[in-house]
Structure 1
Amino acid sequence: MSTSPFDYDELGLVAGLEIHQQLDTDSKLFCGCPTDRREPEESTHTFERFLHPTSSELGEVDVAALEEAAAEREFEYLGFDSTCLVEADEEPPGRLDDEAVEVVLEIAALLDMDPVDQAHVMRKIVVDGSNTSGFQRSALVAGDGAISTDDGPVSIEDMELEEESAARVEETDSGVRYALDRLGIPLVEIGTGPDIRSPEQAKEAAQRIGMLLRSTGEVKRGLGTIRQDVNVSIADGARVELKGVQRLDDIDDIVENEVQRQVELVAIRDELAEREAGVSDPVDVTEVFAETDSGVVGGALSGDGRAMAVRLDGFDGLVGRELQDDRRLGTEFADHAKHHGVGGIFHTDELPAYGVTSEEVEALEDAVDAGEDDAVAMVAADPRSATAAIDAVADRARTALSGVPEETRDVTPDGTSRYLRPLPGAARMYPETDVPPVELDFEGIEVPELLTEKVERYQSELDLDPGLARQVAYGRRMPLFEAAVERGVDPTLAAGTVESTATELRRDGVPVDDVRDERFLDLFELYQAGEVTTEAIDDLLVALAEHPDLSAAEAAEREGLGSAGDDEVREAVVEVVERNEDQVREQGMGAFSGLMGECMGALGGRAEGDVVSELLREEIGKRA
């Protein structure tokens, strides 16, 4: 039962999802380069670019692209031995990858969507450096689908096949450094209709779509391979796009946090209206801090630095008002200022602080003619950055008079969000003339078994318990599990090994993810042949993880994990019993438990427990 403080029906919550999922194809979308990820230190060369926005076919320039370009950042790209001229934007792209097209049609069928007759590739202007060309290529492939949730159906309005962006490595003094290993990986984008009415329904819809995607067996797994954007609005608010949700389990909290932010902004709007609030023009207040002892302000003003301030009429006490946990209206102002090269802002709801004195605050207020009900916001930086930043603060303050601005926001690790850029418009899209259209239809497309159906089948046909059945069906090693069962491996042993055992070893720091599927199958083959025991499987997996070049048989021989012969097992049991003969005579079968552990330890996992148990009972019976 929800514990939310909000009545979402009364607030008029409307939400929609955009799911971005990387496809696990052999080649990238417009070239033959591999889709494997690389480490930045593997880079073999670099090059730099400056990117600028261009006009659409109608002569319009997208507002989000304009704001991004205003930062005038330089972008550095890390290339690899697999990087081609298409990825560097020095050669036209090839045709849409056939494998990627087949996978998206399979996904469309699972979502009950209708494919378009032809997929036409479009260019989407993106000048944040994440694509070397300054745009992302995207093609609409299907529409008019739906999924079910407990609170009703959610429509699937559209699905695009597009190229993944370059991976951001780090911020540099002059801009951003990107790696090209990710650029061009096929990506499917699935957009729902604005049908979601609660945070819980948003989470359920995302989980349902995620399950359908994984059911194909053709999507990449792991952090960063799937991202959710959430569009949220309330009746008195505005549509806000929350980008970069990495975990499905966080979606409900993120939606609730955004509702809270919009509710608070609406309340601030109403309060500002009652106060007949306004925003003045920024002024230079550098002289106020000419003798300051504040290290932060003084450092920013060193050289030719300037302090710029704006009077916010009627904003007193509201700039410091909390919108979300540890995020205030002043934080919103600072987010906009940071886009122009400053570290943040100062405002009178939090001053004196940072070494700024009460006397300096009074002088600041006098310099801008601030009254008792007014607030003052200030930035200190080089002249160009200070001017641009204070203008951005003033613009955002004026927006607060109207309530909630439409914008794109970046989700933070704590589930709150920060300003990223204005909402993009239609002016960012125009046709890609280098890539021919592709005919689409469902002929030859096979709909896969859903993961939910696999769970049911594993329970009914393979007799797995519900928890283990779900764990293996949703796990990365599901194809390995099915291959093992096809070879006659006991399903419970196979599932427990590839999931439970592997998970426990991973938690202990064993690099079990480095063990290839073929090695697991070799291990199962050794077990079926009686050459290793159940008790040896853990140790053998550790050996294979630490020595990935060894075969399972070689690893078993190296670690001495081969099964002991019948005579060796009996000899070990007899030796343990004879060494504890007095205890056996006194306790009889009461000594069994302690001696069983000693026997298994003596054999080092090279004998099955039931065999050792039977022999031990027999030897104790002879002496009791």
Structure 2
Amino acid sequence: MTDDFEVVIGLEIHVQLDTETKMFCSCSTDYDDAEPNTHTCPVCLGLPGALPVVNKRAVEYAVRVGKALDCEIRDETRFHRKNYFYPDLPKNFQISQYDAPINEDGSLVVSVEDEDHEIRIRRAHMEEDPGSLVHKGGSIERSNYTLVDYNRSGTPLLETVTEPDIRSPEEARAVVDTLREILEYLDVFDASRAGALRVDANVSISQDGETGNRTEVKNIGSTKGVVRALRYEVTRQKNRLKRGGDVTQETRHYDDDRGVTVTLREKEEEKDYRYFEEADIPVLRTTEFKDDVGVPELPRERRDRFRDEYGVSDEVAEKLTSRKTVADMYEDVSESVDPQLAATWVADELLRELNYRDADVDTVDAQEFAALVSLVSDDELTDANGVEALRAALDEDRPPVDIVDERDLRAATEDETVEATREAIEENPDAVDDYLGGDDGAINFLVGQVMQKTGGSADPATVNEVLRDELDGRKKQEG
């Protein structure tokens, strides 16, 4: 055996569809701040005699995702019961899809270190979310006891299953990030909800052309967690193989606090779930509506258009399209100012300030922000004072132009700049002598003095130019 290991990863990405009601009942999915077990009914609790009714909006969302992933969308699809006992599934089975998923045989292109990789999508099928377990007193393996909240039980899920085409934890993260972007652009997913996206990863190591046993790492709740969990699991498996051991086929839990995976149970096989068709839900035919389900411009397409239409760089286009809300903001601002200037202010200034505050672009009014950038574009506001106004506006939740006027941040006029320049020259004869004596660096000190006199409202480049004109004029007179 050699140490020439190849990592083999396949992902199962579970995404809550952003519908108003649950998958098979009319219970509200707006339960984030609700008391436990208050968004339930006989259907999502699995009480005897309760009958499920399919959520049409969830099916339309599933079709929309399937089209975005270039999947084949079945004309007929059906639901099955996936039988296993978990305390957060009150029916003791999950309504899912088995041999007739609504979407199959698709693909997803991801970029890793500036190289594109195509990841095959095996299927993207509908199912219902279990409830949530609340472990009291520690993690899943250390808690004193566990509580069950069924509010989430029955929430529509779309599970996207990749082929084992992924070769590194970093590539796995790229898959999750790319899918997340697409889902946001499709308007079928609310990324702000806790637990709205969860990842299960199947990990194995190929050595000398033979792939070893795989482990399944369950319930990874973030893109950072994907990388941490898979790095740990890959290292664990490699070390075991290097020591001559075998990798046990099992299901493992990712402990985010410690950054490790721990054994949960032996890995179930497909036969263990005893799938059988859900008799209470008839075959679902998509032929009548699937052609009418549209797909908007997706992130990769919008990226290409921004480069072609607005002339921004690849790096800037990537930033501007990372979120649909950011891309929308950019296009709104570009309607009133130069697209290049708009790109700088959205991709650099705005996103930096929002990231610092852990805030979202949704909190910014596009027209108010465009008004600020317009002042910079018209030379009525310096970049530095524009940033000052933006920061204050974000902190105080006020229009930035109001901050500009309140703090008198508008750019100094030409006469004001010339007057401040002459005052700085008169008040700093030593710096003037240094400059006239050939020390060009002395000009920077004088620029600083002028900026101080104008409260930062003068344009530094203009100040530099005026200073040189004044001083060079004096030099000629003295010569």
What is the TM-score with the length of structure 2 in the denominator?
0.72
Pair 1:230 & 2:191 matched? no
Q: Provide structure 2 residue ranges, at least 5 long, that are not aligned to the other structure.
A: 138-142
Q: CA deviation at 1:587?
A: 1.3
Identify if the C-alpha distance between structure 1 residues 255 and 590 changes in structure 2 by more than 3 Å, giving closer, same or farther. closer
- Aligned match of 2:447: 596
Identity of aligned residues (%): 24
Q: Give, as a single letter, the amino acid of the residue that structure 2 aligns with 1:7.
A: D
Q: Distance in 1 between matches of 2:457 and 2:18?
A: 40
Tell whether the 8 Å contact from 1:232 to 1:255 is kept in structure 2 after alignment.
Answer: yes
Q: Distance in 2 between matches of 1:7 and 1:564?
A: 66
Q: Distance in 2 between matches of 1:429 and 1:559?
A: 70
Q: Distance in 2 between matches of 1:157 and 1:131?
A: 26
Q: Distance in 2 between matches of 1:532 and 1:103?
A: 45
Q: Distance in 1 between matches of 2:321 and 2:264?
A: 37
Tell whether the 8 Å contact from 1:484 to 1:494 is kept in structure 2 after alignment.
Answer: no
Q: Distance in 1 between matches of 2:297 and 2:118?
A: 21
- Aligned match of 1:431: 278
Q: Give, as a single letter, the amino acid of the residue that structure 1 aligns with 2:4.
A: D
Pair 1:501 & 2:349 matched? yes
Q: Give, as a single letter, the amino acid of the residue that structure 2 aligns with 1:141.
A: I
Q: Distance in 1 between matches of 2:433 and 2:319?
A: 47
Identify if the C-alpha distance between structure 1 residues 151 and 457 changes in structure 2 by more than 3 Å, giving closer, same or farther. closer
Q: Distance in 1 between matches of 2:408 and 2:275?
A: 64
Identify if the C-alpha distance between structure 1 residues 555 and 206 changes in structure 2 by more than 3 Å, giving closer, same or farther. same
What is the TM-score with the length of structure 1 in the denominator?
0.58
- Aligned match of 1:351: none
Q: CA deviation at 1:159?
A: 0.8
Tell whether the 8 Å contact from 2:217 to 2:252 is kept in structure 1 after alignment.
Answer: yes
1:252-303 deviation line (CA, Å, top 9, x unaligned): 62552353266379x45xxxxxxxxxxxxxxxxxxxxxxxxxxxxxxxxxxx
Identify if the C-alpha distance between structure 1 residues 211 and 512 changes in structure 2 by more than 3 Å, giving closer, same or farther. closer
Q: CA deviation at 1:109?
A: 2.1
Q: CA deviation at 1:153?
A: 6.2
- Aligned match of 2:123: 158
Identify if the C-alpha distance between structure 1 residues 151 and 561 changes in structure 2 by more than 3 Å, giving closer, same or farther. closer
Identify if the C-alpha distance between structure 1 residues 233 and 555 changes in structure 2 by more than 3 Å, giving closer, same or farther. same
Q: Distance in 2 between matches of 1:182 and 1:596?
A: 61
Q: Please point out which of 216, 219, 235 is paired with 1:257.
A: 235
Tell whether the 8 Å contact from 1:27 to 1:33 is kept in structure 2 after alignment.
Answer: yes
Q: Give, as a single letter, the amino acid of the residue that structure 2 aligns with 1:443.
A: D
1:506-525 map, 5 Å: 509-513=356-360, 516-518=363-365, 520-525=366-371
Q: Give, as a single letter, the amino acid of the residue that structure 1 aligns with 2:104.
A: G
Q: Distance in 2 between matches of 1:410 and 1:522?
A: 46
Q: CA deviation at 1:142?
A: 0.8
Q: Distance in 1 between matches of 2:265 and 2:409?
A: 59
Pair 1:410 & 2:243 matched? no
Q: Give, as a single letter, the amino acid of the residue that structure 2 aligns with 1:600.
A: M
Secondary structure at 1:109's aligned position in 2? helix
Tell whether the 8 Å contact from 1:199 to 1:252 is kept in structure 2 after alignment.
Answer: no
Identify if the C-alpha distance between structure 1 residues 515 and 481 changes in structure 2 by more than 3 Å, giving closer, same or farther. closer
Q: CA deviation at 1:556?
A: 3.4
1:317-466 map, 5 Å: 404-413=247-256, 416-424=260-268, 425-427=272-274, 431=278, 433=280, 437=284, 439=286, 442-466=290-314
Q: Distance in 1 between matches of 2:417 and 2:152?
A: 54
Identify if the C-alpha distance between structure 1 residues 469 and 154 changes in structure 2 by more than 3 Å, giving closer, same or farther. closer
1:2-22 deviation line (CA, Å, top 9, x unaligned): xxx84347xxx7542212234
Identify if the C-alpha distance between structure 1 residues 601 and 466 changes in structure 2 by more than 3 Å, giving closer, same or farther. farther
- Aligned match of 2:158: 188
Q: Provide structure 1 residue ranges, at least 5 long, that are not aligned to the other structure.
A: 47-76, 269-402
Secondary structure at 1:443's aligned position in 2? helix
Task: Point out the structure with max Rg over C-alpha.
Answer: 1
Q: Distance in 1 between matches of 2:453 and 2:282?
A: 68
Q: Give, as a single letter, the amino acid of the residue that structure 2 aligns with 1:546.
A: D
Tell whether the 8 Å contact from 2:67 to 2:295 is kept in structure 1 after alignment.
Answer: yes
1:99-122 deviation line (CA, Å, top 9, x unaligned): x43443232123321112244444
Q: Distance in 1 between matches of 2:419 and 2:27?
A: 61
Q: What CA RMSD, in Å, does the superposition of the two structures yield over aligned residues?
A: 4.2
Q: Give, as a single letter, the amino acid of the residue that structure 2 aligns with 1:535.
A: A
Q: CA deviation at 1:523?
A: 2.0
